[in-house]
Structure 1
């Protein structure tokens, strides 16, 4: 087994270590994407940063692949591996809020549901994702696009500091004051530089929001996309949300005879004064006739978890994405052609606006480089039946190939598939060479390579 045995690993950590001979192994090795079926040598259920340090050391000393798992939502399944070791942070989910300083510190395995539940009590929030079971760490390290991004910036723009276990087993604090090169790289560079055991965020006053889904007929899809693109360019920054293609789930506010039909919709989020919410969303009602909607005041955590039921564990996942400067007529035509062909109610296409506060950060201020783009579309192929994989993957690829000529070469790394490794340089645009330098300093042996990898 090399220099260190599994028994030595067990003795050196507080959390449990699960191996193929143990009860619960299949549960321990499973990640969100059921297309991924890998068998690690050991899964370490880390209880603290010391456990993470021990796990990194064990993998390094034995020459084993190392996977770091937080929320486990990585579409390529980077939270597990064949024959290696998994540092599973999912038991490290604590969130501590400092309401006086308007900050919160989340452990490396916390989800956005954990985070929002803790901060909501104080009427505070920061930009999180769209699905509340997503890990705070993974989303933030890739950039962090969500409902509040136009007003507050990306998740990584609100990161104050991070605790990091690096490849040599060191425990470092990364911030503007300490290890600032590492801090720069963590904000958009993904899991390339170490295992992040906690993250400290700046919070803003957001408690209840006004929003929800607004559905339109497919015949109006081009009008809705065109109108949204024009309106969101200079809309108030408290207004978030995104256009999407979706098969109607069986929800009470949707006419029963339309359940299962494809629609174009806008999921709206007004984070300004609640009494201004109806007026703030009026423009969306003016775009085209509304078929159905479920809009009103609600806790921000409720909106952030509204689609969780459509994305349960155990689906097949295959995604593609690009950054887009504008929703051109050619791009809209491609979306209108392929968007309605959604293969399952779980599949969706979201076109996230990333202007406003996101544009006020320089392209080289963090590793997230696409500060001049206005949208981050994702074709999120998700379905329950593995026998449909070939046909549904083809839909995602055909859709992507139709939209790619009207987009930037690079895309959001949190949306990348396992076969997107050849896009790494493009995904980081002008920041790639600097990221390589940081990688060489903190992980010259590429211990952290199960990610959208920046090779040293």
Structure 2
């Protein structure tokens, strides 16, 4: 028997075992829906798993883990399928697909929400905003809650309410032995510690319970567009301002291109632009004195924002990052945003390969740093900023150019960085070194993963960024 015949034989055994035990759909290479089932948000990812188990609930996950334990294929776990590096899907192995598990339940009295692992932030926001409550989520509403939270989870409310992982109250997880466990501060606290920033490779998290905070349904946002030739002045002013603003705002600085929005004059579409943004995480009536300085850093080209519904604000960027586009993100954590760092960033942006690409500086600190360094696996507390280099394009012929721009820009900015890597913006495979991703948490994470998965069933998921 040849190697390919042996692999094929093993794959057929896995498919048959899943079909006899999983109630959800089991999709293999011969299925007409195979190409759609293996597709993830990032069109750059083109992996071909042997089988996809589309789980309908926790019981299906338990059966899929049991089959994986018996047959030992490479395993990946799909939540929303939105992670840039495409970790949701593997080549030739088994995808445990939770994307159909999207139920969300809000307890307004307890101010908690429990959401299944296939839910997106749009699903969560829709449910929680009925009660004027939020938990910090992503900046694109189609992002899945699972990978986002397990990797940390930065968003527009982070200085007021912390990262997504800081708002976790418990998780339900199926570990490698097929046991369903609840992990919280009281139950399996080691698993709970790991899930907050280092949760990949621990097992299959099937649901998340988050704390909720009063905000919305209407919020106040500053969204200021400045001419590109003011980038240096605006960036330096923005940096100085971030040291003074209260935790009720998590300001962002963006180098991008004017989007093709019908509300914006057509002659500006595609032009390079500087964007300064911030959402006030409090009573909109109190927002103006805090947000007004964001419009005083230069001579604005135009302004947006104002009062709008929180759920709509969270969906505003969705059209700029459509499913099927091609994406490659890398980032640095930065302590001190020096003039030289700003100048280097602007020089790198001037070589940007496509108008869809952008560079973003997110302000950290506040509630993020009020979580003790040893309280969770997330290791990057104390950094003042995250600088993200986000390449976006549609034409496969531009793959090398766009990825090359992001990599070279990341390299040029490395001297200004802390050396840490944010797992949710980790390129493809080049940023997977555990010391960079998990820092001082790496050794303890290895111990916990060895305790709950001694045979390495989820080893591939743990290694993949």
Aligned positions, number: 455
Aligned equivalents of 2:462, 2:202: Cα separation in 1: 11
Does structure 2 conserve the Cα–Cα contact (< 8 Å) formed by 1:190 and 1:451?
Answer: no
Matched, 1:117 2:151: no
Aligned equivalents of 2:241, 2:439: Cα separation in 1: 28
TM-score after normalising by structure 2: 0.94
Matched residue, 1:70:
79
- Cα deviation for residue 439 of structure 1 reads 1.2
Matched residue, 1:344:
354
Does structure 2 conserve the Cα–Cα contact (< 8 Å) formed by 1:325 and 1:373?
Answer: yes
433, 439, 452: which is aligned to 1:423?
433
2:140 aligns to what SS in structure 1? coil
- Cα deviation for residue 233 of structure 1 reads 2.4
**Cα deviations by residue, 1:307-349 (Å, 9 ceiling, x for unpaired):** 1001111111212111111211121111111124333343222
Does structure 2 conserve the Cα–Cα contact (< 8 Å) formed by 1:103 and 1:203?
Answer: yes
2:88 aligns to what SS in structure 1? coil
Aligned equivalents of 1:290, 1:340: Cα separation in 2: 20
Does structure 1 conserve the Cα–Cα contact (< 8 Å) formed by 2:277 and 2:294?
Answer: no
Aligned equivalents of 1:111, 1:349: Cα separation in 2: 24
Matched residue, 1:138:
147
2:287 aligns to what SS in structure 1? helix
Matched residue, 2:246:
236
Aligned equivalents of 1:441, 1:254: Cα separation in 2: 55
Does structure 2 conserve the Cα–Cα contact (< 8 Å) formed by 1:245 and 1:340?
Answer: no
Aligned equivalents of 1:61, 1:443: Cα separation in 2: 14
Q: What 5-or-longer segments of structure 2 have no aligned partner? A: 1-8
170, 184, 188: which is aligned to 1:161?
170
Does structure 1 conserve the Cα–Cα contact (< 8 Å) formed by 2:84 and 2:425?
Answer: yes
List aligned pairs for 1:432-447, cutoff 5 A.
432-447=442-457
177, 188, 191: which is aligned to 1:182?
191
Aligned equivalents of 1:144, 1:209: Cα separation in 2: 21
- Cα deviation for residue 409 of structure 1 reads 0.8
Aligned equivalents of 1:194, 1:254: Cα separation in 2: 46
Does structure 1 conserve the Cα–Cα contact (< 8 Å) formed by 2:432 and 2:463?
Answer: no
Matched residue, 1:256:
266
Alpha-carbon spacing, 1:212–1:11, altered in 2? closer, same or farther (3 Å): farther
Matched residue, 1:302:
312
TM-score after normalising by structure 1: 0.96
223, 230, 233: which is aligned to 1:223?
233
- Cα deviation for residue 251 of structure 1 reads 1.6
Alpha-carbon spacing, 1:294–1:252, altered in 2? closer, same or farther (3 Å): farther
Aligned equivalents of 1:230, 1:450: Cα separation in 2: 43
Alpha-carbon spacing, 1:343–1:454, altered in 2? closer, same or farther (3 Å): closer
Matched residue, 2:416:
406
Aligned equivalents of 1:243, 1:352: Cα separation in 2: 7
**Cα deviations by residue, 1:239-263 (Å, 9 ceiling, x for unpaired):** 1231111111122343322111111
Deviates more, 1:185-194 or 1:210-219: 210-219
Aligned equivalents of 1:251, 1:408: Cα separation in 2: 37
Aligned equivalents of 1:299, 1:412: Cα separation in 2: 29
Alpha-carbon spacing, 1:415–1:451, altered in 2? closer, same or farther (3 Å): farther
Aligned equivalents of 1:100, 1:300: Cα separation in 2: 21
